[in-house]
């Protein structure tokens, strides 16, 4: 069996920088492009930094065709500054982090009221707003507590395209259905796992991420929405490589590295649920439609031929452990 995709996109990707970028960027090359997160140290907050980062990504891709949809770390910006960003090649959106909520987000937004003039200008200019939507509350409530903020944003800025990034709850899906100006990304792992997989047996650091995986009914709702072809729900891997030593040490860093396994595992998931024909929309079509993206056509064929997943990806002095490390996935990308 085969599933043929046109120009699959990863709508939420961490590529890091330096040697980690060199190792991981090519591992996303089965995608035609990806929305690249700006939470480097320091964050990518200026067009010049963004351009330089895009060049480093292109260099790491080493000739592979790949469209990096670049984001700027949200800071208050004037309309002029936003216009300048918009005219910078590769620019796609602003990514808003509540301050201190995840990896390298210390410089994020502490008071959303101060962000309003920028949001108003973004709305006028048609610049999408991508949001890491978690409060600083109890770990299981952070996303649901943040939904009131999404609601207020969606109401106050009805023409602003707002993306609820990496949603993990059924409650977020219900909000998605309420507002036409909201979209959402969902990761591979949140379609598959619950907190049980992270901490129900032995503790599994390689499945630990933010937002943390939630309850079975949340996972089931996300999966049904993805398989059902929700037009405003997009695949975003949130693939987040950390050096092995930071994942397996005490105080493990948050993030699951899925870039190289995402398309095969998604193919398996959609095929075994009789939704193979909906994969194109989930990994490309819906996002292209909603954001009005023009992506060069690119044929990617997934086949039910096994893919052995290495215990780790190594190179440039880095070592990253992927999801399904050491296992065999029943689907693979056809060379």
Which residues form the interface with its own copies (CB under 8 A)? 138-140, 194-196, 198-206, 208, 212, 215-216, 248-254
What is the smallest separation between the CB atom of 140 and its own copies, expressed in angstroms? 7
State which residue, 247 or 278, has the beta carbon closest to its own copies. Answer: 247
* C-beta of residue 196 within 8 angstroms of C-beta of residue 312: no
Chain-centre distance for alpha carbon 35: 7
- Active-site residue flag, 197: no
Q: Which single residue is written with the structure tokens 């909201």?
A: 182
The CB-of-254 to its own copies minimum distance in angstroms stands at 7
The tokens of 35 are what? 């929305």
Query: How far apart are alpha carbons 316 and 101 in whole angstroms?
Result: 29
Question: Which CB, 194 or 268, lies closer to its own copies?
Answer: 194
Q: Smaller CB distance to its own copies: residue 202 or 335?
A: 202
User: Closest distance between its own copies and the C-beta of residue 31, in Å?
Assistant: 28
Q: Which two tokens stand for residue 271?
A: 């095929």
The single residue of 197, 220, 238, 304 carrying the catalytic annotation is 238
Smallest separation, CB 292 to its own copies (Å): 38
Q: Which is nearer to its own copies, 203 or 328 (CB)?
A: 203
**CA gap 100, 109 in Å, rounded:** 9
CA distance 116 to 94: 13
Decide: helix, strand or coil at residue 196: helix
Contact (CB, 8 A) for 60 and 27? no
Tokens at 17, concatenated: 């920088």
CB of 102 to its own copies, least distance (A): 10
Q: Which one-letter DSSP state was computed for residue 112?
A: G
How many other C-beta atoms are found inside a 10 Å radius of the C-beta of residue 297?
A: 7
Cα three-residue angle 308-208-334, rounded to 5 degrees: 25
Nearer to its own copies, 198 or 262 (CB): 198
Catalytic residues: 238
């Amino acid at each position: 069996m085969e599933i043929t995709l046109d120009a699959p996109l990863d709508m939420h990707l961490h590529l890091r920088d330096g040697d980690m970028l060199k190792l991981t960027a090519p591992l996303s090359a089965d995608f035609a492009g990806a929305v690249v997160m700006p939470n480097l140290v320091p964050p990518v907050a200026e067009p010049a930094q963004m351009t330089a980062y895009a060049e480093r990504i292109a260099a790491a891709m080493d000739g592979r065709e790949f469209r990096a949809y670049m984001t700027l770390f949200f800071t208050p910006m004037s309309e002029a500054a936003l216009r300048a960003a918009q005219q910078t090649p590769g620019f796609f959106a602003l990514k808003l982090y509540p301050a201190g909520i995840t990896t390298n987000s210390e410089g994020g937004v502490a008071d959303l009221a101060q962000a309003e003039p920028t949001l108003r200008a973004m709305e006028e200019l048609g610049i999408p707003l991508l949001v890491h939507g978690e409060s600083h509350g109890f770990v299981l409530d952070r996303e649901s507590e943040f939904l009131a903020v999404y609601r207020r944003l969606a109401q106050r800025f009805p023409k602003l395209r707002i993306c609820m990034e990496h949603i993990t709850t059924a409650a977020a899906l219900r909000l998605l259905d309420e507002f036409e100006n909201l979209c959402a990304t969902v990761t591979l792992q949140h379609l598959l796992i619950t907190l049980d997989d992270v901490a129900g047996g032995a503790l599994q650091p390689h499945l630990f991420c933010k937002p943390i995986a939630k309850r079975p009914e949340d996972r089931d709702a996300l999966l049904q929405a993805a398989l059902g072809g929700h037009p405003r729900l997009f695949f975003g891997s949130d693939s987040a490589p950390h050096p092995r030593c930071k994942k397996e040490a005490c105080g493990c860093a948050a993030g699951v590295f899925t870039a190289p396994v995402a398309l095969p595992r998604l193919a398996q998931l959609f095929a075994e649920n009789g939704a193979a024909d909906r994969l194109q929309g989930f990994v490309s079509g819906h996002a292209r439609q909603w954001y009005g993206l023009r992506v060069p056509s690119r044929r990617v064929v997934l086949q039910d031929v096994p893919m052995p997943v290495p215990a780790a990806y190594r190179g440039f002095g880095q070592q990253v452990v992927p999801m399904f490390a050491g296992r065999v996935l029943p689907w693979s990308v056809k060379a």
